[in-house]
Structure 1
Amino acid sequence: MLLQFPDHFFWGTSTAATQIETAGDHNWKGVRARDGYLLDRTTDHEKRRDEDLEYISRLGNVYRCSVDWARLQDAPYKAFDEAVIDEYQCFFSNLNERGVKVMFVIHHFTNPLWFEQAGGWLVEENVSAFVDYARQCISLFGPYVFSWNTFNEPNVYAMNAFMLGNFPPYRRSWVEANKVLTHMGIAHEVVYELIKTNYPKIPVGISFNTAWFDAANLLGRLPAAFTDWWFHRKAAKPFSKKLDYWGLSYYAYVPFNPRPITELDHPGKLSKMGIPHDNMWGYRPEGLARILQHFHKKYKKPIVITENGICTDDPHRRIQSIRDYLKICHQAIKDGIDLRGYIHWSTWDNFEWHLGPTYRFGLVHVNVFTKERTMTAAGEFYEQVVQNNSVDA
């Protein structure tokens, strides 16, 4: 059955600077990932921008991306590096000339070393340094931007960097995680007002991660419910007052028994439980329907799917996941949810944070050694979805 989307609906793909550019002096540089690779060269995007422009423009009319704060600003309150400014402005201008709109993510998990060494997001006084960085981004890149995300998945950042110890600075404190969210929320509100002062008609939101936390048995009920409350409600509160839309990402179904069960931490266990999964998490697309209903009813704001995908080496599984998720999105629109667009993660394979480059999400395959790009069957499928504004589900 052919599912047609509204004429105003937009399509795109997403990346993050840290995952695709050679590392600047930031807190992820040199991190050794689970698969053994060091985060340094990643995908050579800064050397292949013209080639990557071709892929981006084939895969939607919106490109969601970030810049490397550390490359732009090597000390607090310092003017941005002119050469790096020119590099990004040229890239954004070329995107716009091809009919691709930029959704700009100001913070995507990564901090300059100077910011991290000053205490990072644990120290409220550092908020002003981030606001200065954001102010310069707004001034220099604002003319190319059609939509802003102040933060990418602050709940994931706080959880992994300050609660679970997976991301730098590898802390394990529930109290610190909540303090970080509070400070990010303060920064978000200030930056929201800065953008609105300069570009009052441009929408400003965040990208907020979501998942389906479920009880696999009686013992899993309490931890699943608590995780759901913290991840979707408490972590959202600091950002909820000043938003034009919610950007939502969805990837994971996580059962608890009482501990969370993932393919990453318990290989083979999800299969034994009869739960479909990718290389990282349980796979239940219907969880996205639950999430869309929750955010629609609670906040009554427009919604954009700012990230969605599947971790797999199999492009045919990726095609099926696109079909599955777009069916959910289409039904949500029919049900009256104000869903404005869908942005797939990711444009091409990148360095998947603490896991490494062999954990693949890309519509375009990247050779880990040569960095050569190849459009996959999933990329060709998504290109047709974009061109036709519809999916055969």
Structure 2
Amino acid sequence: MKKFKSEFMIGAATAAHQVEGNNVHSDFWTMEHIPGTMYKEPSLDAVDHYNRYKEDIQLLVDAGCNTYRFSIEWARIEPTKGEFDKHQIEHYREVLEFCHQKNVTPIVTMHHFSSPKWLISEGGWESETTIEYFGNYCKYVTEELGDLIPYICTINEANMGKQIAKIMKKMQAVQKNDSANSTEVQVGLNMDDMKAKMQTYYRALGEAFGIDPRNVHSFLSPKTQNGERIIMKCHEKAREEIKTTNPDIQVGITFSLYDHQALPGGEKFVEQEQYEDFLEYLPYLQNDDFLGVQNYSRKIHGPDGIVSNNENTRLTKMGYEYYPEALGNVLRFVSKHWNKPIIVTENGISTDQDEERVEFIDRALTGVHQCIEEGIDVIGYTHWSLLDNFEWQLGYAQTFGLIAVDRSTQTRYPKESLSFLGSIKNRGLVQIQE
């Protein structure tokens, strides 16, 4: 029987915009509602986690979990530049206090993709001014709530803009060849759709944010090298402000990391991907307390680059290869370059078959346990996601949650996978056969 130590954190994660609902001051709310929107549907009430957080956290507790990762929404805290909303701070204070009442460790993310609308109008994530703005926001939140927050992830998936740029470049190549592969399915983008809507969409973008549409830089926009630098400078500024205000808070950042595997001749591609996804960022992380690792699948590289899935590849609903062992492999790779604590801040699967999720959790956490036995300092695991939620451009069709939600009534339906995850704390792991 494989058991985690009592202090190991096991739980689930959410992101504010995806679950809270009515995040009306955010850039994503704006982009969801403009003419020609690239979003399948608007977020609207989402799953009303803003009002139902106690019910949702209680379900997590009842299952046996002891950790909840969630984000504080910048667009709620600072809906207008320089004006902080005390009512919203009190809301998140209540969320944090409820976690502590239930002996749940909160892991707070300061920025999980969505930004205030005004920030984008000011230049967004390609502007130097964002560094100061983000620092001010993090300072304010820490001054108000820092005594309730043991762990802070400054930015979620700091490398995502780079990954999106790669995906779009590949999509353009695919379009030229009039072929398709699973990568496009994964992110829910369609080049034909995009081309048809582009002119209307970009005109509406510019009008909505009051700037040239070429200067609309949301966090998920493909990044220039300067944009990459700005994100990491935002992280450094946030860490400085948080630590100055409350040095006891453990500060880190999260990265989206694939398990890159090489076939003969593919080694150079793996090295390049690992450098661009993670190693390039290491100089900015030296003063961090922990690292957030997020993994969903693997990529196999041959002598000509990424090897496409075939008809025999087991896929998730998102089009990723079903490969829970990717997580352990990524942790081993990271540990070669990082000797401080690691938290698995996201790992999961979109599927309508919950037995697949149970199997995925068991196999993924078996890999985590093996890494710990090998001496890798993994201190926690938060599954994505606590709730079926709003998956950005894909809307509500994808089902990553441990809890299903009937959005017509907002009724919660915990899945077997939730109790399975929670029981691991007491029961330990029993490897499910593939």
Size of the alignment, in residue pairs?
A: 379
Contact 2:113/2:156 (<8 A) preserved: yes
TM-score normalised by structure 1 residue count? 0.88
Whole-angstrom CA distance in 1 between matches of 2:224 and 2:405: 34
Alpha-carbon offset, residue 369 of structure 1: 3.4
Equivalent in the alignment of 1:199: 246
Partner amino acid, structure 2, of 1:73: E
Partner amino acid, structure 2, of 1:96: H
Equivalent in the alignment of 2:416: 377
The structure 1 residue matched to 2:276, chosen from 230, 249, 252, is 230
The structure 2 residue matched to 1:46, chosen from 43, 47, 50, is 50
SS of equivalent to 1:63: strand
Whole-angstrom CA distance in 1 between matches of 2:276 and 2:51: 41
Partner amino acid, structure 1, of 2:79: D
Partner amino acid, structure 2, of 1:181: E
Distance 1:172 1:358, change over 3 A: closer
Distance 1:233 1:319, change over 3 A: same
Q: Counterparts in 2 of 1:196-275, with a 5 A limit?
A: 196-214=243-261, 223=269, 225-234=271-280, 236-237=281-282, 239-255=284-300, 270-272=309-311, 274-275=312-313
Distance 1:391 1:34, change over 3 A: farther
Whole-angstrom CA distance in 2 between matches of 1:349 and 1:316: 16
Farther-moved stretch of structure 1 (186-195 vs 104-113):
186-195
Equivalent in the alignment of 2:366: 327
Alpha-carbon offset, residue 100 of structure 1: 1.1
SS of equivalent to 1:103: strand
Residue 186 of structure 1 pairs with residue 186 of structure 2: no
Whole-angstrom CA distance in 2 between matches of 1:134 and 1:211: 29
Alpha-carbon offset, residue 13 of structure 1: 0.9
Residue 290 of structure 1 pairs with residue 329 of structure 2: yes
Percent identity between matched residues is 28
Contact 1:108/1:152 (<8 A) preserved: yes
Alpha-carbon offset, residue 183 of structure 1: 0.9
Alpha-carbon offset, residue 315 of structure 1: 0.7
Contact 2:73/2:111 (<8 A) preserved: no
Rg: which structure is higher? Answer: 2
Distance 1:179 1:159, change over 3 A: farther
Alpha-carbon offset, residue 222 of structure 1: 5.5
Partner amino acid, structure 2, of 1:15: T
Give ranges in structure 1 of 5+ residues lacking alignment.
262-268
Alpha-carbon offset, residue 338 of structure 1: 0.9
Whole-angstrom CA distance in 2 between matches of 1:69 and 1:173: 18
Contact 1:306/1:343 (<8 A) preserved: yes
Whole-angstrom CA distance in 2 between matches of 1:171 and 1:379: 31
Distance 1:35 1:190, change over 3 A: closer
Whole-angstrom CA distance in 2 between matches of 1:276 and 1:47: 38
Alpha-carbon offset, residue 103 of structure 1: 0.7
Computed over aligned residues only, the root mean square deviation of the Cα atoms, in angstroms, reads: 2.7
Distance 1:254 1:127, change over 3 A: same
Alpha-carbon offset, residue 177 of structure 1: 3.5
Contact 2:384/2:400 (<8 A) preserved: yes
Equivalent in the alignment of 2:172: none
Contact 1:161/1:169 (<8 A) preserved: no
Partner amino acid, structure 2, of 1:233: L
Distance 1:368 1:225, change over 3 A: farther
Equivalent in the alignment of 1:276: 314
Equivalent in the alignment of 2:106: 102
Q: Counterparts in 2 of 1:306-385, with a 5 A limit?
A: 306-385=345-424
Alpha-carbon offset, residue 202 of structure 1: 2.3
TM-score normalised by structure 2 residue count? 0.80
Equivalent in the alignment of 1:69: 74
Distance 1:173 1:314, change over 3 A: closer
Distance 1:185 1:137, change over 3 A: same
- Give deviations 1:212-264, integer Å, cap 9, x for gaps: 2345786x665554333211222x23532221111101102234575757xxx
Distance 1:369 1:34, change over 3 A: farther
Whole-angstrom CA distance in 2 between matches of 1:162 and 1:370: 39
Distance 1:244 1:328, change over 3 A: same
- Give deviations 1:95-114, integer Å, cap 9, x for gaps: 11111121110111111110
Whole-angstrom CA distance in 1 between matches of 2:342 and 2:219: 32
Distance 1:326 1:25, change over 3 A: same
Equivalent in the alignment of 2:430: 392
Contact 2:123/2:217 (<8 A) preserved: no
Alpha-carbon offset, residue 310 of structure 1: 0.9
Equivalent in the alignment of 1:111: 115
Equivalent in the alignment of 1:27: 27
Whole-angstrom CA distance in 2 between matches of 1:86 and 1:161: 38
SS of equivalent to 1:366: strand
- Give deviations 1:66-109, integer Å, cap 9, x for gaps: 1221122122222x212212221112111111111211101111
